[in-house]
Amino acid sequence: AHARFHPNYDESKVGTYTLPDPLLMSDGRRVANTNQWLALRRPEILSLYKEYIYGKSPPACKAVARVWDVDTHALGGHAIRKQINIELFSPISTNRVVLHVLLYTPADKERAPTFLCLSFDPNYRDVPDPLVAVYPTWNRKTDKLVPPPRKVVRGKSHNWPVNEIIADGYGIALVDYNDIEPDFADGSGWRYGVRALFLKPGQAPNAVPDAWGAISAWAWGASRILDYLLTDTNVDPARVIMLGHSRLGKTALWEGAQDSRFPLVIASSSGEMGASLSRRNYGETVTSMSKAFPYQFCPNFLQWSNRIPSMPVDSHMLVSLIAPRPLYLNTGSLDQWSDPRGEFEAAIAAGPVYRLFGEETVVSNLPPGNAVLNSSVLESFPPPPLDVPVMHDIGFQTHTGKHDILPQDWRRFLDFADMHFYGKQPHRYLPRK
């Protein structure tokens, strides 16, 4: 048994550190312009994440999308609902995986910007629509495919306020991430998910050091859904937003880093190995993650468990891979395990990369050069007040509350998208009294 992990929640004990420089190339040269970043340094950082953190994903396989339900008067006549089964075929066996995608777009809009949301629940539990199909789902507690309950509770989740999203002129595509790969605590869900499509009989998913882990699998599945969305006549193909929460927030970041077809990314409470700095000893750590969730990463990741300062990357580099595209980080005041402060500091430390593109991250008074890679400089920036989002090319908010996507967070998400897609001024948010 592993020794019990005791997280640090004392700011005086986070330690001092210097972050790796995202603008320093492996040959020692400094990135001087956006061309060098895009052609040389960005691919280096992406390669480091593939080799040492999340693993290398395969190219797309054969996929067949079947739109089997279309309702042009959904949600009281305000939306068009489509239910799509995307069947993914193994290139080496008869294996296949089916993704159940639920798509709503505004009835009064020809092509709508659309949120692609990875959910922890099946579609019929996510929305209060009695016509959403009920189907067998993977149970994370029993590790089994179970039939739907006799009495289905619809719209149980408050994470996806479809009516508000539609009213604002946006679409939303939902999928249960367990469709892509079931998330079993012992990591054995790979047998029933997309990673199994690429494995020969008897072959283990972690046979090579840079084999793709579950986070890469969930991200790869999101790309396959995007492949379909880009062909849907009700979706604006230039404005599909990647969104996820918690481990799916990590997935959203990694997916946004790899697939630049997403013009905007929203990561909610992505925490350790998402947007929160690993070298900052606060809340969850690489050490605890490597013991609790090794299956989410490539085998190479485990070597950093007790060598965090030696990691070739930190989360500000993952954030920088999104540049120059807009990124919104959502956190919660009661979610210290995910270290909201560490996400804020990562957004600051990604500033020099965004600055190359003439863009602004979460602070306007960014010091020159690479000074923000020093922990003492990062800690000198006060975080924004609770419930007041920073809205620049990187957005950031800490809501009052827990590890969750709250209904009021969606007003910020929609504002952030409106600002970047349509040049609209966001609402003026005031701190709670």
Q: How far apart are CA 343 and CA 94, in angstroms?
A: 43
Q: Which is catalytic among the residues 246, 269, 270, 375?
A: 246
Q: How far is CA 349 from CA 42, 373, 379, 385, in A?
A: 16, 6, 11, 20
SS3 track for the chain: CCCCCCCCCCHHHCCCCECCCCCECCCCCECCCHHHHHHHHHHHHHHHHHHHCCCECCCCCCEEEEEEEEEEEHHHHCEEEEEEEEEEECCCCCCEEEEEEEEEEECCCCCEEEEEEEECCCHHHHCCCCCCCCCCEEECCCCEEECCCCCCCCCCCCCCCHHHHHHCCCEEEEEEHHHHCCCCCCCHHHHHCHHHHHCCCCCCCCCCCCECCHHHHHHHHHHHHHHHHCCCCCEEEEEEEEEEECHHHHHHHHHHHHCCCCCEEEEECCCECCCECCCCCCCCCHHHHHHHCHHHCCHHHHHHCCCHHHCCCCHHHHHHCCCCCCEEEEEECCCHHHCHHHHHHHHHHCHHHHHHCCCCCCCCCCCCCCHHHEHHHHCCCCCCCCCCCEECCEEEEEECCCCCCCHHHHHHHHHHHHHHHHCCCCCCCCCCC
| 246 noted as active-site residue | yes
Q: How far apart are CA 180 and CA 174, in angstroms?
A: 12
Kindly give, in sequence order, each residue whose CB lies less than 8 Å from that of residue 136, ignoring residues fewer than 6 positions away.
Answer: 145, 146, 147, 148
Q: How far apart are CA 293 and CA 291, in angstroms?
A: 6
User: In this structure, are strands 394-399 and 390-391 parallel, antiparallel, or unpaired?
Assistant: antiparallel
| 73 noted as active-site residue | no
* Catalytically annotated residues: 246, 403
